[in-house]
Amino acid sequence: MASTGAGKHTVLHMYKAMLRESEKFSSYNYRNYALRRIRDAFKENKNLQDKEKIKEQMSKANKNLSIIKRQVIIGDIYRSDKLIIEQK
């Protein structure tokens, strides 16, 4: 989702916001899945030049960020025990 000027800054801000929010998942599996999907999606679209496609992808990312925020809250309400690989 590369673009010039403010567009590139906005894309980077969205990427970081999605990663930060995904780090809040209490579930190891959800957290790692979300982080992997975000990184893969942004890598896949990093060479986009068409402003309409960038705008479309940013809209999709914004909707997904809202979903992640809601799921983090739900995950906190219904928290489960940590997995063995998470325990120190």
Instruction: Express each pLDDT in 29-65 by its tens digit.
Output: 999 999 999 999 999 998 999 999 999 999 999 999 9
User: Residue 24 contacts by C-beta under 8 Å, 6 or more apart in sequence?
Assistant: 72
Q: Which residue from 65, 57, 63, 64 is spatially nearest to 3, judged by alpha carbons? A: 57
**Tokens 């120190």, residue?**
88
Q: Residue 3 has which token pair?
A: 């673009």
The verdict on pTM exceeding 0.85 is no
Number of structural domains, the chain? 1
State the Cα–Cα distance between residues 46 and 1, nearest whole angstrom.
4
Q: Which domain holds residue 24?
A: 6-77
